[in-house]
Amino acid sequence: MFASTLTDAVRLLATFDHRVAEIVGLSLQVSGGAVVLGTLIGLPLGASIAVGRFPGKAGVSVLINALMGLPSVVVGVVVYLLLSRSGPFGAFGLLYTPLAMVAAQTLLVVPLMAAIARQVVEDAWQRYAEELQVMRFTWWQSVSTLLHDCRHSLLVAVLAGLGRAMSEVGAVMIVGGNIDRATRVMTTAIALETSKGDLPLAIALGIVLIVLILALNAVAFGLRHWAMRRYG
Amino acid sequence: MAHELLKRIRVAVLGVVLAGAAQVATCAESIVLASTTSTEQSGLFGHILPIFEKTSGISVKVVALGTGQALDVGRRGDADALLVHDRAAEDKFVAEGYGSYRRDVMYNDFVVVGPTADPAAVKASSDTSDAFRRIAGKGATFISRADKSGTHAAELRFWKAAAIEPVGQFWYKEAGTGMGPTLNMAAGVDAYTLSDRGTWANFKNRQNLAILYAGDPKLFNPYGAILVNPDRHPHVKKAAAERFIDWLTSDAGREAIASYRIGGEQLFFPSPR
């Protein structure tokens, strides 16, 4: 049973059609958008917590670490209630659109990326704190300098965010609605095909998703090496 | 230098995201239809919606949920129209003012599905109540949708008609999931379950499962279309949603519904006028 499912899956991949390409494209747009927003919000947030000295810092660090385990389905329900026509942001009509999916995935990846950034930057901060203080850097200068110095290590935070966004199904299913040709992404398509009992197609789409994430990671790895050689 | 590279990457990625957003914003007129997993997973929408979209230029975005959840989405104003199958709940929805009206669209039937070995001898049932009594009497595993869907509501009616209280019995498993996942579970453990014929006909992971009982008039499964009340939710796209409901019940729509077949078998029948 399992072996025949796998061979069926490989055969389906050979007949890779444009519908699958559309779904892959939307997955990349939605998760890519969430990771860009997550990078712009999560990394400075994590670095600020690492550098800042404020009461309750340990508590905030624990909280942001814990939020890495935020269940995607909970985020889905919360964003649904916010964007629903009967909710506070209902007037914008964003529910069941890709923008709603980007919003939900951003909420999911921000804590994850901030938590990793906090750890990476804190380790660097402990090494350079004295120098930066001697140079009379302001708080923001310290944050941006450390983010810049740690950029190669922080790539892991970006990749972790990308992995989480691409692989989650709970949030996009609820706020996107898995609408054909509108909000269907890789994971919701896999869930739908599993529901139909079409396990070979579900596995085939799963293979596409894994290969895609692998390829994105390979590109990031290559870019990092190229950038390190070229720009140091 | 590295700063510049990062900046360039960021600008490029942002461009892609904004292009995607713009694409979404400029699409043609569309309505959101909250419907049931049975209509989506049976493949019916894939067959009839392109026909409607071609003639009307209105694209129909289907969110497939259980009937209870679909009604809830309508109550919140997150859909323009509904196509669901739980008559009692539908009438209540309209009576409470959440829907403007309800129209009969089509019907098919429920089927009792189980392992071909049929330990509870459901095949020999005289009617639906008898089939359910046989499953309970044998203590054969039965998987319930338990998700407030139309099929779940029908199943509970059948247990009641058979004078059996299944909830809490060792053989009664409440899955809390859609029709397809429930069939996957039944196939995995050789259990009995109640399915709508459409989902069953399009379901591929059958393993040992087969239809063991069908044909009782009580297994009638009617689908109705409801317009979400624009008086309560002013953003409802009334004209486009009404055009869709009118089309579903027109000769063209009835023909489209009747022409959907899997392996030569007709899955949905337009409601008699």
ipTM entry: 0.82
How many percent of chain A have pLDDT more than 70?
A: 97
Is 80 exceeded by the pLDDT of residue A218?
yes
Model pLDDT, residue A1: 59
Cβ–Cβ gap B24/A98 under 8 Å: yes
DSSP string, A174-199: HHHTT-TTTT--HHHHHHHHHHTT-H
Model pLDDT, residue B1: 42
Cβ–Cβ gap A231/B5 under 8 Å: yes
Distance (Å) of CA B198 to CA B84, B91, B265: 14, 23, 10
User: Encoding tokens for residue B201?
Assistant: 């006909």
Which residues make Cβ contacts (< 8 Å) with residue A179, sequence separation at least 6? Answer: A96, B32, B61, B62, B63
Model pLDDT, residue B105: 97
pTM greater than 0.90 (yes/no)? no
Model pLDDT, residue A7: 78
pLDDT tens digit sequence for B34-66: 999 889 888 999 999 999 999 999 999 999 999
Cβ–Cβ gap B76/A86 under 8 Å: yes
Q: Which residue of B has its CA nearest to A177?
A: B63
A36 touching B (Cβ < 8 Å): yes
Model pLDDT, residue A228: 84
Mean pLDDT of the region A116-131: 91
What does the alpha-carbon distance between residue B268 and residue B254 come to, in Å, rounded to a whole number? 10
Which residues pair with residue B110 across a beta bridge?
B196
Mean pLDDT of chain B: 91
pLDDT tens digit sequence for B159-184: 999 999 999 999 999 999 999 999 99
How many percent of chain A have pLDDT more than 90?
A: 70
Cβ–Cβ gap B41/A86 under 8 Å: no
- Residue A136 has what DSSP assignment? T
Model pLDDT, residue B14: 56
Least CB–CB distance from B63: residue in A84, A85, A96: A96
Query: What count of CB pairs under 8 Å joins A to B?
Result: 94
Mean pLDDT of chain A: 91
Is 80 exceeded by the pLDDT of residue B228?
yes
Model pLDDT, residue B267: 93
Contacts of A195 in chain B (CB under 8 A): 37, 41, 178-181, 184
pLDDT tens digit sequence for B111-130: 999 999 999 999 999 999 99
Model pLDDT, residue A45: 96
pLDDT tens digit sequence for A163-176: 999 999 999 999 99
Cβ–Cβ gap A151/B32 under 8 Å: no
A199 touching B (Cβ < 8 Å): yes
